[in-house]
Structure 1
Amino acid sequence: MVEKWFVKNKKVDFKKVSIKYGVSELISKLIINRDITEDNMIKNYINPSIEKLHDASEMKDIKKAVNILKDKIKSQSKIRIVGDYDVDGVISVYILYTSLKKCGANVDYEIPDRIKDGYGINKDIIFKANEDGVDTLLTCDNGISAIDQIKYAKELGMTVIVTDHHDIPFVEDENGIRTFISSEADAIVNPKQIECKYKFDRICGAGVAFKLIQLLFNEMDIKKEESFKLIEFVAIATVCDVVDLIDENRIFVKNGLAMINKTTNLGLKALINATNMYDKEISTYHLGFVIGPCINASGRLDSAKRGLRLLLSEEEEQARILADELVELNNERKDMTLEGVEKAIDIVESTNIKNDKVFLIYISEVHESLAGIIAGRIREKYNVPTIILTKAENGAKGSGRSIEEYNMFEELIKCKELLDKFGGHPMAAGLSLKEENIDKLREKLNKNTILTEEELIPKVTIDLALNLDYINYDMINDLEVLEPFGKGNSKPLFGAKNICVIKAMVLGKNNNVLKLKLKTELGKIIDGIYFGDINEFENTIINKYGNEELHKLYDGQYNSVNIDFIFYPSINEYNGVSNIQLIIQNYR
């Protein structure tokens, strides 16, 4: 796929920044490149200590929520937590449930079933809670949009506290003017509310739950260190909910990772063992691509309560059994996802869909919980906004994933007459509609779009061009100050032009790793590792230099192959020997 490469070019005196904050000029440039420019943000970025967390009491309605909970704990009124079935929802329930228990509350929990109940609190859950004698409903990672549901709970005489982090719902008049709406809940804790004065509104649902507990523990005279113990769980939710790893989120994840690597939670330890990570330093990668998906798999293919029970385990054997079950569920989910991705690619390649600027793909047999993952994979492959729909009980249901240039939520608003339900934000959305409206929706989305061919070309942004001879162990170790990496704090990428490649080798048990020997301007040899499509790499070389040069490359003979690379420098340790290697992201 053709790509456009850009170099970030911020006009800042990096030397001055470097001296002021005591970091190298390279690090100061990389921090500024991430739009971290305000004095306090830079200080918190370089030293993200727990003491720098914002004051929880500044969040709208949080004191009101704490006072209600204190009264309910004192009177032993029955509290039921209602969560969500993804990682953020499960962790939010864990934080609230264990903490309220510690305060002596009469509390239990409910997590909706993804297929049967759908997202968020619903009337059936409220009706059942009322029958069970529940006095107070406490939502987490949901509830901000549950206007009618909360009205129903209030009619039944229940107390309702909402904790959420999703966008505030609104109604729009014919002139496109929006009025934001809120429910009749007794307290609504969500930093995205316009009236909320909290300093950072991009925390996840578990982050909001943690803030509530921080304040509750303070009111209940429980040491603040007890709330800090929850940060390892907030870190998992923060990474898995793909919120920006800046400001308070960076504090959660940086400190949480240190705790996770020494965790005493039996469920988490069992999951680390079951995924063969017991001898590894757990990083954001492991949270986002190993631990998170296993917890998520229970909510996708079974009940999210299984993932919660793992974290609540008090016996090693029970934790081991649950961890093994989650790993097995996740393996099943991976196989089903791969099958779905292959079907989606086949549909794109064999139909007129491939000419669309917005892909709407209907695969009746795909498990509806996997639609979003498959949409994400197709979006990555083609760099086109993608919605995957599957057969549901009453029509079709699905999820979409977008590109920066296309606000998927806004575009769906323009087609709302074809949809039964929809929600989301610029980069992702969920929707349901009647089957007879699928083709109409595809047609309308593509007719409405003003996406240009130019905007559909993938863009790769490089932090700076870097001479390979400047790379050394000190520089690579220096980069560690930027970790943890994730959304909003991406791993730095460097570019080098016209690099002489003297040898290529295919490695890995599945022959899926390409190792390259690269020659620097000063004649040093440095290793490069590429995990992408090796066939495509070979075809690129053949098209430019011919078959013979590719053979020379594999034979390590003198050749004329020169390539531009985008990479991240790292240190590879193997059998006690360490050497510098470049993790190659892109080439041309």
Structure 2
Amino acid sequence: MLKSTMRWKENSGPSAHTALGFGVSPLVEQLLIQRGITSAEEAKRFLRPSLEDLHRPEHLRDIDVAAERIHAAIAQEEKILVFGDYDADGVSSTVVLLEALRELGADCDYYIPNRFTEGYGPNEEAFRAAKNNGYGLIITVDTGIAANHEAEVAKQIGIDVIITDHHEVQESVPAAIAVVHPKCSPDYPFHELAGVGVAFKLAEYLLGYFPKQLLDLVVIGTIADLVPLVDENRVLAAEGLKAITSSQRPGIRALKDSCGLDGIVTEEDIGFKIGPRINAVGRLQDADLAVELLLAATYEEAAEMAEEIQSLNTERQNIVAKIAKEAEAMVREQPAEDSSHVIIVAKEGWNEGVLGIVASKLVRTFDRPAIVLAVHPEKGTAKGSARSIDAFDLFHHCMQVRDHFVAFGGHAQAAGMTLELEQVDKLRKALNKAASDALTPEDFKQSLSIDLEVKVQDVSIDLIKDMSQLAPFGMQNPKPLVKLSAPMREVKLIGANKNHLKFVFAEENIQLDGVCFGKGDLYPFLAPADELEAVGELSINEWNGRQKAQILIEDVAVRSWQLFDHRGSKQLQRTVQLKQEEETAVIRFRTETDINWLSEQVRVLDYETEGLANAAGNITAVVLADLPHRLEDLTFALRHLQPDLVYACYDVKENAYLQGFPDREQFKIFYAILLKQKMIAYQQLEDHLKKSRGWSAQRTKFISDVFFELEFVKLDKDQISINPSPSKRDLADSQVYQGLKEAIEVEKILYYSGYNDLKQWLEQALERREVIEEEAVNGL
């Protein structure tokens, strides 16, 4: 039995009478209903995202005030500064608003703070510098909702501030001349726009028309910032993907070439290729390079910058790997109580720009909220990023202990913060207590929401294409997850480091490939022919122009008992891997059997002692170290213990099965020779039978032992002779005779059988619950 590492939540399908009436397949209809879409009109809007479904920007509070001030600044040739952020959302927001302002003839420029010297968001020094440089108006994009102090500073120095943002609103809203923010706009129907979405709304309002030419920028921030891809965001993402696919913007073209993108751009291309490269710039240096790339006038200029960004992204990946390794080691070395619910690690010298990525890796590794901080001893502060699990609202709980922070901001699942060094331990205790009070053990397991169950024969290219109608996928509209239950035909390790699994499932002469990344450590715990339950995404694998359906697996489980076949292995210490979480026992039917190869601490149950009877109910895994004398002995042991895992680790000593069992004719031959000779030296008899009949020494000895036990012959030193007055007895009365028959049967079934035959026999042994009193008494 192999337990799943995540919680599986199976969505209930639509009721039998439910029908959308939109001409979609039953499968798509089911998926739509699971996403809360219950009418044909809703289905149409979802499956056919249209620009007509976007909300009017004038419903955003203060957007009219903001536009009036901006148009006034343009008319008066007043310098305007767009104040952005250093991530992909902030960079794309900056470029969107800059292009709109320049189209209107504004005298404008941009400023993005340095992550390392200034930190996140507006700061007083930057505002004062803007004033000194002649700027009369600052417009923030993707930032500013927490800039209360900076807004006051702006008032004092005589510079107007317009804030456009989408992050969570804190206790109070900054005193800017306008705050354009969906969550501050009761009349605006959708509150989950990305920062670039808000900037785009302002651009549309300013320009007086819908600027489709900016959609190739809007899609970058919308997808990269992981906002819910529903409602307006779905429209912007869908239309934006079309726009970026055909974009002639030099910066976009160069960036796509750098990513190796040719053809239709998908949400995954944005999320895993384009977005990370833009983010890499601000993580390692000023984000200006990313802005200039998107503003580039020629492809040649853009290509040079894209190459530099590619180098930065590679450097970023190396830095992340190094810090993640150090952080993981720190977590494992911490006292258990320090990271029992929330992980906080801090170290001097860590690059602040990548700590959010490191925090995400820790969350995936330990299933805990994680805060990763870079320590600055000269300032007496620690600064970093946090990521959370679904069940723990990071923003809410951190706001409950806001006094521990110098600065804080973010979302339910991600945040950034600065705090004094002496507050780190206090924050650790406070958040661990909050999580302890709010969460259950199940909350710490990642969850998978299963949309439907499929069989191998259900999976096809057409099915996958049908499901793709729900794209683009993202937050609140994830790729459909399916559960597949099927026997494995094959499982093997793949990848340069052998840390991935490749499966072949087979059912009704149909095969399906499955790939499970990063779970190579499960390989020793998967047995041939296991009925595997796998949860993952269906996809199309293209190779040499051929398309093939496959499942990309996220989690697996085996619900039934498992057999691990190590019969005859000479390398048991290397090949047998026991699960530490299982209560394991080794059963010996012969006390002389060597079990020194077992390095784990396991219980030893000798069948001929009373230990087996006392082990019932506690043992979940059984190692069979040797063969039983009788099949009944093993049957009783298995149904008494009912293990979930059985390791067959025995070898044969005598090879009784291969030697075979003498037939009655051979017994007659042996006896006839003795009748004729009356008495003969045993060695002479053995040599004669070997030469004349080809018998082995073991065959001669077995027959003589049977006859001796039945008192048909006498043995006197090295001489064997006929008993002149034997009792009339059947060969089957001999224990030696019966013992060999038992040994042959044991070896035949338990050793020389194929895997499936052995598992079938053990299955029957495990399922028989009745306890025969005669067997229970024997040796127990």
Normalised TM-score (structure 1): 0.89
Q: Note if 1:587 corresponds to 2:590.
A: no
Give the residue type in structure 1 aligned to 2:392. Y
The alpha-carbon deviation at position 504 of structure 1 amounts to: 2.7
What's 2:225 paired with?
241
What residue is the counterpart of 1:404 in the other structure? Answer: 390
Q: CA deviation at 1:121?
A: 1.5
Equivalent in the alignment of 1:556: none
Which range is displaced more, 133-142 or 429-438? 429-438
Looking at structure 2, the residues matched to 490 and 164 of structure 1 have their Cα atoms a distance apart, in angstroms, of 25
1:93 aligns with 2:80: no
The alpha carbon displacement at 1:468 in A equals: 2.2
Q: CA contact under 8 A between 1:14 and 1:28: conserved in structure 2?
A: no
**Match in the other structure for 2:349:** 365
- CA positional deviation for 1:10: 5.5
The higher-RCO structure (CA 8 Å, 6+ apart) is 1
Question: 1:176 maps to what in 2?
Answer: none
Per-residue CA distance 1:118-155 (angstroms, 9 max, x = gap): 11122111111111111111111112221221122122
> Which amino acid is the alignment partner of residue 566 of structure 1?
V
Which residue does the alignment assign to 1:453?
441
Distance, in Å, in 1 between the alignment partners of 2:37 and 2:323 is: 39
Q: For residues 424 and 387 of structure 1, what CA distance do their matches in structure 2 show?
A: 13
Q: Distance in 2 between matches of 1:135 and 1:579?
A: 60
Q: Deviations over 1:455-511 (max 9, x none)?
A: 2123222011122222222221111211111111100011122x1111234444554
Determine if the alignment matches structure 1 residue 418 to structure 2 residue 404: yes
Partner residue, 2:322: 339
Maintained 8 Å contact 1:41/1:247: no
Q: Tell me the residue number matched to 2:502.
A: 515
Q: 1:185 aligns with which of 176, 201, 208?
A: 176
Report the residue type matching 2:413 in the other structure: M
Corresponding residue SS for 1:455: helix
CA distance in 2, matches of 1:560, 1:10: 30
Distance change in 2, residues 1:214/1:271 (3 Å): same
Specify the code of the residue in structure 2 equivalent to 1:310: L
SS of the residue 1:460 aligns to: strand
Secondary structure in 1 matching 2:487? strand
Residue by residue, what CA displacement relative to the aligned partner does 1:541-576 show, whole Å, maximum 9, x if unpaired? 1xxx4xxxxxxxxxxxxx432211112222222112
Q: CA deviation at 1:524?
A: 1.1
**In 2: Cα distance, 1:132 partner to 1:40 partner:** 53
Alignment gaps of 5+ in structure 2: 558-780
Larger radius of gyration between Structure 1 and Structure 2: 2
Letter of the 2:161 counterpart? V
Deviations 1:223-249 (A, max 9, x none): 53xx01111111110011110001111
Would you say 1:442 and 2:428 are equivalent positions? yes
* Cα distance, 1:435–1:182 mapped onto 2, change above 3 Å: closer
Letter in 2 for 1:215: Y
Does the Cα contact within 8 Å between 2:456 and 2:505 map onto a contact in 1?
Answer: no
The structure-2 alpha-carbon separation of the partners of 1:263 and 1:133, relative to structure 1 and needing over 3 Å to count, comes to same
Q: In the aligned structure 1, how far is the partner of 2:39 from the partner of 2:152? A: 42
SS at 1:202 equivalent: coil
1:100–1:107 CA contact under 8 A, matched in 2: yes
SS of equivalent residue, structure 1 residue 230: helix
1:363 aligned counterpart, secondary structure: strand
Match of 2:9 in 1: 6
Q: Which moved more, 1:245-254 or 1:452-461?
A: 452-461
2:189 maps to which of 181, 199, 221:
199
Query: Which residue of 2 is the match for residue 569 of structure 1?
Result: 538
Per-residue CA deviations over 1:259-297 (Å, capped at 9, x if unaligned) read: 1111111111111112222x3532111111111111111
Which residue matches 2:477?
489
Tell me the residue number matched to 1:351.
334
Residue 289 of structure 2 is matched in structure 1 by 306
- Separation in 1, partners of 2:390, 2:503: 32
Q: Is the 8 A contact 1:495 1:564 kept in 2?
A: yes
Structure 1 residues 103, 405: closer, same or farther in 2, change over 3 A? same
1:274 matched to 2:262: no
CA change 1:14–1:120 in 2 (3 A) is farther
Aligned position for 2:274: 291
Code of the aligned partner of 1:145: A
User: Any residues of structure 2 matched to 1:39-78 within 5 Å, and which?
Assistant: 41-78=42-79
Residue 416 of structure 2: which of 430, 436, 440 is its match?
430
CA contact (8 A) 2:501 2:523 kept: no
Q: Which blocks of at least 5 consecutive residues in structure 1 are unaligned?
A: 171-180, 546-558
Count of residue pairs the alignment pairs up = 549
CA distance in 1 between partners of 2:555 and 2:310 (Å): 32
2:727 is matched with which residue? none
The question of whether the paired residues in 2 share the 8 Å contact of 1:14 and 1:25 is answered with: no
Which secondary structure state, in structure 1, belongs to the residue aligned with residue 135 of structure 2?
A: coil
Q: What are the superposed Cα offsets for residues 351-408 of structure 1, whole Å, 9 maximum, x if unpaired?
A: 3247611111122221112111111110011111111112134321121111111122
Inter-partner Cα distance in structure 1 for 2:39 and 2:137: 42
Matched, 1:103 2:104: yes
In structure 1, give the amino acid aligned to 2:403. Answer: E
Give 1:38 deviation, angstroms. 6.4
- Offset at residue 198 of structure 1 (A): 0.9
2:30 maps to 1:29? yes
When residues 12 and 127 of structure 1 are mapped into structure 2, their CA distance, relative to the original with a 3 A threshold, is farther
Residues 16 and 104 (structure 1), Cα distance of their counterparts in 2 relative to 1, 3 Å cut? same
Map Cα deviations across residues 418-445 of structure 1 (whole Å, 9 max, x no partner). Answer: 3322222321222222222322322232
**Structure 1 partner of 2:653:** none
Distance 1:6 1:182 in 2: 39
TM-score of the superposition, structure 2-length normalised?
Answer: 0.68
Name the amino acid aligned to 2:447: K
Is the contact made by 2:503 and 2:514 (CA closer than 8 Å) also made in structure 1?
yes
Give the Å deviation of 1:182: 2.4
Q: CA RMSD in A?
A: 1.9
Query: How far is the alpha carbon of 1:11 from its aligned partner?
Result: 5.3
Q: Which moved more, 1:525-534 or 1:482-491?
A: 525-534
For 2:286 and 2:38, the matched residues in 1 are separated by: 43
Distance 1:525 1:148 in 2: 63
Provide the C-alpha distance between the structure 2 equivalents of 1:253 and 1:309, rounded to a whole number of angstroms.
23
- Counterpart of 1:185 in structure 2: which amino acid? A
Task: Determine which of 196, 199, 202 is the counterpart of 1:209.
Answer: 199
Residue 579 of structure 1 deviates from its aligned partner by 2.0
Find the counterpart in structure 1 of residue 487 from structure 2: 500
Contact 2:356 / 2:385 at 8 angstroms: preserved in 1?
yes
State the one-letter code of the partner of 2:453: A
CA distance in 2, matches of 1:380, 1:238: 23
* 3-state SS in 2 of match to 1:51: helix
User: 1:7–1:461: 8 Å Cα contact kept in structure 2?
Assistant: yes
Q: Is the alpha carbon distance of 1:133 and 1:89 closer, same or farther for their aligned partners in structure 2, counting shifts above 3 Å?
A: same
In 1, the alpha carbon distance for the partners of 2:335 and 2:181 equals 43
- Percent identity among equivalent residues? 33
CA contact (8 A) 2:143 2:163 kept: yes
Question: Aligned pair in 2 of structure 1 residues 317, 191: CA closer, same or farther (>3 Å)?
Answer: same
